[in-house]
Structure 1
Amino acid sequence: MTFSSVTFCGRWDLQGIPRVCAPAAEFSFAFEGASLALELEGEARFRIEIDGKDFSILETRERKIYPVAADLENGIHEARVRKMTETEFGSISLWKIYPEPIPQKTKTFPLKMEFIGDSYTVGFGNSAPNPITGTAFSTTDATRSYAALVAEKFHADFQVNAYSGRGLVQNYMQIAPRWTIPQLYLYTLGGESPLGNSPSWDFSAFHPDILCLFIGINDWQGEGSHPNPAIFDAAYSDFLDFIRSKHQLSHIFLLSTDIFPQNFLPERIESVFSRELSRGNRDISHIYLPTPQNSGLDFHPNLSRHEAMANKLFQKINTHFEQKKCI
């Protein structure tokens, strides 16, 4: 089938059969009929919305046709399929939609946003009842991460390019040392890139107005040595320069929070912020997001904490817009 009547949100490889790895990526379409099924391949969980309402959660693994809805009222419906999970290895393929989507009015968005980060931005384990119950697959809901919630508040087109366990200079416990966030960010499919199966990302395909950068947590966690502060700060500025070379952004929000046991991140981000100001860059702000008593899986922020983070970030971004109107 062709996918010309499907709207894709997030980083997708659309050079053939649509493939995706990114958390909170989604696709939406209109269809006519009383039932809906999706032919998908790969291990993931999806939040299904039909006609603007939560409908069900779909789990996929092997390639097959997955029934999504039945006994709907006859007529035209709108479906939104949102990826709840992160795909760290491999990718998810969308083979076919039954019935085939019908043309729909092109959606317009007032704002484009991008969120770059690690497991906090993924929404890792945020629906777990406590830090030790459940798995990452069963308790991660990227559609309710602070990033997705902020984008929803702004009715924005958005991307979440986030990679659990990865850092700016080094990854958590030195895992996959070559594949840090800046390296993975170059590719469309983070879970395929170390295998050599991902195209490079075409940065002209999506130009965000606002970019939120929440990186560095994993650089300062885990056993062993951690980055030299000067090296970390320089690498952060280099990444900012790369981002600016690809996009003419309205603003970049540098995010930080307290981390355990070596709570260096807020200090480092403030240092980077001051460094950028001294270089004449006025397109950035530093926002500290409190994350006390994390009770999600492996002591990550839970759903209520993500909501609090989203509320604060939304208010800060809103204030930024209001101030710009007065200038």
Structure 2
Amino acid sequence: MEEGKLGTNMKRILLLINCLFLSVGVCGGPLMMRLYFVEGGARLWFNSWLQTGGWPLTFIPLTILYFYRQKSEGSDTKFYFITPRIFVASFLIGVLTGLDAYLYSWGGSKLPVSTSSLLLAPQLAFTAIGAYFIVKQKFTSYSINAVVLLIVGAVLLGIRANGDRPEGVTSKEYAIGFIMTALAAALYGVILPFIELIYVKVKQAITVTLVLEIQMVMCFAATAFCTIGMIANKDFQAISREAKQYNLGEARYYIVVIWSAIIWQCFFVGAVGVIYLSSSLMSGVLIAVLLPVTEVLGVIFFNEKFSGEKGLSLFLSLWGFVSYFYGEFKQTKKLKNKNQENEMAKMQNEHV
């Protein structure tokens, strides 16, 4: 299952699967967060904890991969590939992820989904800048066009953000929530290229198992960070009381909590998977292009307004999405033709 041994078709299949995971997380995560707060939830650290608390679920695919390898490798099969150096790097990135989750929860508690999703606009910009400086990501005219269109489309959503202030939220709380969301965007935009940097710098084969291990350590570290916050804020003692007072009922409170953890875990698995199979920039682009979908879902489930700015944003985002993947298609085709030409030249030289 090493990266170099993954065939083109297998890589495409895995990329598609990870894109689906990421889509579920990007669209479903903010909706579950908003549902938690709208119906009476108020624990910021607990909600932050839920964003990465599903990390034990990663043991399921890791176990499946272990038994898959055991069939061909026998009793000498390694259960894990992560080294102390990679563990430390992943753990540190995970702590930053925990901080990012808290900032995002703060914003999500005060902003509607349609506004908190503005997080994705500056995030893409920071991902693009970070990818350029951290992992030397090469830009094409198509990727630059995509980044610009997606950012402009997302920023358009903020033109009428003031009119979206939820009932019961003061102007000051709304402003702080907006700032927290922007900070979360900047932080996570830099986190994505750092994940890619781990793949670039490791001195061993990058396998699917190693990618999942990195993701699991990151989420474990983020969860540990948020657990400290929960202990300091006495959230553990408040959960049962909050469940009993939840507007949808105690049983549904726990259903919301459990599914929040599962859906957010889809986000993190998908994000690191897309970075592994493609790049941090593509992960950022895919997250950004799903912004309008999240906006529409916010309108459907929480009766938020769908303005003309949101419609224009949807158009620009889809245009940016098509532009990016058309550029990727052309690059792949160009590289394939170049490889074929090199092979033919090599065969001719050998014949001579």
In the superposition, the TM-score normalised over structure 1's length comes to 0.26
Query: Which of 1 and 2 has greater Rg?
Result: 2
